[in-house]
Amino acid sequence: MALPGPAPTAPTPSASASRHSDEPVPVVAVVCPACGQDQPTPLRAGFHRWREQTFDLVRCGGCGLAYLSQRPRRATYAALLESDEFFASGYSDGTREQGYFERRDDWIDTYDRELEALESQIEYVGRLVQWGAGGGFFGEAARRRGWQVQIAESNRVAADYAEVQFPLPVHRGTWEEAPYEPASFDLGVLHGTLPYSLDPKADLAGMYRLIRPGGHLWLCVPTFLNSALHRGLDRFQRWLPKRVLGADLWRTLKVEAQESFGPPYRLQHFHPTSVENLLAETGWQVERVQGRATRPDYLFARRNLSWRERCVKGLAQGAGALMQARVVPPAETCWLARRPLR
């Protein structure tokens, strides 16, 4: 699918990233970004590799968050998330065939259905704020459904795109700098934002202040990599039919202990408990939890599948049904939470 309309024109830092490809990545050591404790246990050494620098994944002994014990410094990390490679494949971890902006219509359709279900739960349409809004697809789906939408995005490439493509008010920068009034929104949206966040607790607390008492938060994060399912696959990987699953899916599952998985796009991987602790600490009351599967696009977008791909598609459909029922840990988990009336 061609990009509809003009492409973003801002300089992408991938050029500067390649210019400095021989230089070491400037890094900073961190304690747990969710609970602030410094009790890491090793989970996977060298989980990511970027410009000859490796990044170890550890697990917090305090809250169970899986996170990178060292991360790229702020400006370097921002440039990584504005690179062509991130928008081509890094954003989806290999589960999508199309680049981020090329999926425009699919995103809007998906979010339209998601909002329809959400509106039936909360029973209103009103003022919505989203940050980490990416290319504005969720915001645009909401606008078309009658929401008054404000979005904030600090990624310059994504913010450029949203500004050019959609009639949405885009705050370019972090939410802390945005001119939003306290308690002035009905619904706050953090959709896949927290894995990239330098301070997830501050994000949830900041959103709490913007939402009116009685208003809601819609929060979605991937939860597969920090789940008992992933640990089980990891442990029993030698019995998995690697050849049947195929190299792409095998890599997406990230169970190969010896392998490194490219640049450190995501700083942390949440366990549902680590999210629920953060929600409680920042004042939110959880009303509903929903599990979802992430389906590899290439199995569902094509018609002519090989026998192997048909097997994998069946497995993915079965796993997806079990994830939605939360019989097995879901690939993605969403929370509908409420700011209490008092």
Residue ranges that bind Zn ion, judged by CB under 5 A: 32, 34-35, 60, 62-63, 65
We find the least distance from the C-beta atom of residue 76 to Zn ion, in angstroms, to be 24
84 to 2, 136, 158, 214, 236: CA distances (angstroms): 16, 18, 11, 40, 35
We find the least distance from the C-beta atom of residue 61 to Zn ion, in angstroms, to be 8
We find the least distance from the C-beta atom of residue 35 to Zn ion, in angstroms, to be 3
> Measured from the CB atom, is 34 or 187 closer to Zn ion?
34
We find the least distance from the C-beta atom of residue 59 to Zn ion, in angstroms, to be 9
Q: Cα(first)–Cα(last) distance of the chain, in Å?
A: 49
> Measured from the CB atom, is 200 or 263 closer to Zn ion?
200
> Measured from the CB atom, is 230 or 271 closer to Zn ion?
271
> Measured from the CB atom, is 50 or 55 closer to Zn ion?
55
Range list of H helices, 225-296:
228-235, 242-253, 272-281
CB contact at 8 A, 231 and 201: no
> Residue 116 is encoded by which pair of tokens?
């329809």
> Measured from the CB atom, is 66 or 151 closer to Zn ion?
66
We find the least distance from the C-beta atom of residue 65 to Zn ion, in angstroms, to be 5
> Measured from the CB atom, is 32 or 81 closer to Zn ion?
32
What does the alpha-carbon distance between residue 252 and residue 92 come to, in Å, rounded to a whole number? Answer: 9
DSSP structural state of residue 261: -
Could you tell me if residue 133 is left (phi over 0), alpha (psi between -120 and 50 degrees) or otherwise beta?
alpha
The neighbouring-strand residues paired with 50 are 53
We find the least distance from the C-beta atom of residue 206 to Zn ion, in angstroms, to be 19
Range list of H helices, 182-336:
200-210, 228-235, 242-253, 272-281, 297-301, 307-324
